[in-house]
Structure 1
Amino acid sequence: MPSKLIKHALVALLLVATLPARAEVCATDDIGEQVCLPSPAQRIAGLSPGASELLWSAGAGDQVVAVVAWSDYPPEAKTVPSVGSHTRLDLEKLVSLRPDLVIAWVTGNPQEQISTIRALGIPVFSIEPRDFDAVSSVIERLATLAGTEEQGWAEAERFRRGMAELSARYSQRAPVPVFYQVWDEPLMTVNDQHLIGKVITLCGGRNVFGELPRLVPRIGDEAVLEANPEAILAGGMGEENRDWLTRWEQYSSLSATRAGNLFFVPPSLIQRPTPRMLQGSELFCEKLEIARGRR
């Protein structure tokens, strides 16, 4: 292990040891590990754009000292030092920032690098919310670890209540067969176990690829043509880029194309497990309601 990395880690641990004593705080992460800190974290690193956004949602934005590429919300996140991308972390830079807590993405961060962080004695809290209540739960647990319970728990409840209201309004509407495109090359979608798959169900949609075994399956154009969805929704490379939908305009036999039900949803509103998913879900439900009205 590089000597610089060890030196930085020792400095981080000494810093934690010299902080004023407060009551120990503990929370269990999404892989079942209990993470305990001697006092609320003051220097937190978020290793995915979603993790950083969740930290701000939990009221801990002022305590974030490191983010990764594409951490662009809230705008303050763009002013925090970046330690690489979620798939390739700059560990030396991360350790030099002396985090006393690291928020990892279970299936997004390289596990060997996360293991190295743990080996250096830096607490790691792993997250991967798979349903709406889990998003609220993560916010509450992050707020506990950061000592920002009042703001974090209020935001968690706002999200929980908002999603329940959407479900009550839309989940029993006439089903709309839906294809959600999560990526372009290779063409990828989600199954019913994915958080976006749960948005489809909440809005009264029927995910035409919902029963596939993989969480994020790779498919081909032929599979979409065979499934013949009534509506196609997609994000894209950017918050206003509709290019992914032009792919389907060439297929006049598709029900979605014939009806004009090719809908764009800004990806950060639907593809990050954060409170902004409430806004994305509202938009998603509105698009399916448009499709119903065109029958």
Structure 2
Amino acid sequence: MTTPMPKTRLARATAAAACALAVLLTAACGSDATADGATDRPGGAHPGDASGFPVTVASGQLGATTDLTIEQEPQRIVSLSPSATETLWAVGAGDQVTAVDDQSDYPRGVPTTKLSGFQPNVEAILGYSPDLVVAADDTDGLVSDLRKAGVPVLLLPAPKTLPEAWSQMERLGAATGHVAEGAALAAHVKQSVDDAAAKAARAGARGLTYFHELDPSLYTVTGKTFIGQLYRRFGFTSIADASASGDDYPRLSPEYVVSADPDLVVLTDTGYGDVSVRNVGDRPGWADMSAVRGGHVIEVDPDISSRWGPRLADFADLLARQAQSLAPAAAR
């Protein structure tokens, strides 16, 4: 269950964002650029008139974005990204969403369809008469095909950094007419991560190692990945960082995992067969691993650990608690 934003913090963040927006709108006829050429709009947004539209937002990965202009506040949004779907609801744009892809399952009651974000069918998407499509990838010319049909597409790919995730929340808020809410959400999730990381640091949790299991064949993540960066904020180092695979998502051998003896094991694949905290000790050599002996094998919903939306705050809280629990052992 997602940790709700405290009402007082939400009110302060929303008010601050609203004030910032008012200043931006007042200065809309002036220059948008800072001295280094970067935009000073929330999430790279350039609002038009007092209604906020048309608005221009950055579409794509930071560092390789293109400007997307949305003429009117969208009322028939199609989301092909589970992370974007969660964020749309978190910024208050849920009522503007008419359809989401088959992987979007949160929050409860989202209008899930058979649409695929991995193999998008343009004709099927257009069947929902969207005035904005949000997607994680430009698969098979999705953007150009929808553009030909007059439908803008906001690309929000899997982020490479935590700041990229905050930026996407801001951009999605701006694109849907919820600039203040998008800025407030980004600020809240960032602050939640910062606060949780501070708790881990105070506990002296630096130097801990982890194994983040993606599937039973022992695919994992390194510290170079987005989720790996989150672990690093809590003082955890992936055992895969020392492997010679050169892959950010390497497959480790059973012997490597056992010999690395991680302090923490995170299972995100408990939907596969009999994978569970209870059963990992039955794997060859695992019964003697520190994490198994010390009870530091945990199950995590893969949606929470793989999506870059508002529930990052939940995962951060979980990592903080694990770091605090492990810190005394690390000190010894």
TM class by smaller structure: 0.7 to 0.9
Q: Cα–Cα, structure 1 residues 256 and 111, in superposed 2: closer, same or farther, change >3 Å? A: farther
Alignment of 1:115-126 (within 5 A): 115-126=144-155
CA distance in 2, matches of 1:134, 1:225: 34
- How far 1:81 moved relative to its partner? 4.4
CA distance in 1, matches of 2:85, 2:141: 21
Contact 1:229–1:256, Cα closer than 8 Å, also in 2: yes
- How far 1:113 moved relative to its partner? 4.1
Which digits, 9 at most, give the CA deviation of each residue in 1:133-170, with x for residues without a partner? 22221111111111112322222211121112122222
Q: Does the alignment pair 1:232 with 2:261? A: no
Picking from 218, 228, 241, the partner of 1:210 is: 241
CA distance in 2, matches of 1:237, 1:26: 42
Match of 2:135 in 1: 104
CA distance in 2, matches of 1:23, 1:64: 18
Contact 2:199–2:324, Cα closer than 8 Å, also in 1: no
| 1:102 partner SS | strand
CA distance in 2, matches of 1:196, 1:224: 19
Match of 1:291 in 2: 326
Q: Cα–Cα, structure 1 residues 96 and 139, in superposed 2: closer, same or farther, change >3 Å? A: same
Match of 1:192 in 2: 223
Q: What is the number of equivalent residue pairs in this alignment? A: 269
Equivalent residue letter for 1:49:
P
Match of 1:8 in 2: none
CA distance in 2, matches of 1:191, 1:153: 30
Alignment of 1:218-257 (within 5 A): 218-237=251-270, 243-245=275-277, 246-250=279-283, 251=285, 252-257=287-292
| 1:88 partner SS | coil
| 1:178 partner SS | strand
- How far 1:181 moved relative to its partner? 1.0
Match of 1:279 in 2: 314
Picking from 57, 60, 70, the partner of 1:37 is: 70
CA distance in 2, matches of 1:288, 1:264: 15
CA distance in 1, matches of 2:186, 2:112: 27
Match of 1:136 in 2: 166
- Point out where structure 1 has 5 or more consecutive residues left out of the alignment: 1-20
Match of 1:166 in 2: 196
Q: Does the alignment pair 1:268 with 2:298? A: no
Which digits, 9 at most, give the CA deviation of each residue in 1:222-270, with x for residues without a partner? 33123221221112355xx982543454223423223332111222222
CA distance in 1, matches of 2:317, 2:77: 31
Contact 1:48–1:71, Cα closer than 8 Å, also in 2: yes
CA distance in 2, matches of 1:279, 1:288: 14
Alignment of 1:47-58 (within 5 A): 47-58=80-91
CA distance in 2, matches of 1:249, 1:86: 37
Alignment of 1:18-33 (within 5 A): 23-31=53-61, 32-33=65-66
Contact 1:180–1:190, Cα closer than 8 Å, also in 2: yes
| 1:209 partner SS | helix
Contact 1:58–1:140, Cα closer than 8 Å, also in 2: no
Greater shift in the superposed pair: 51-60 or 246-255: 246-255
CA distance in 1, matches of 2:146, 2:255: 44
CA distance in 2, matches of 1:217, 1:46: 30
Match of 1:76 in 2: 109
Contact 2:269–2:302, Cα closer than 8 Å, also in 1: yes
TM-score, normalisation: structure 2: 0.73
Match of 1:9 in 2: none
- Point out where structure 2 has 5 or more consecutive residues left out of the alignment: 1-50
Match of 2:212 in 1: 180
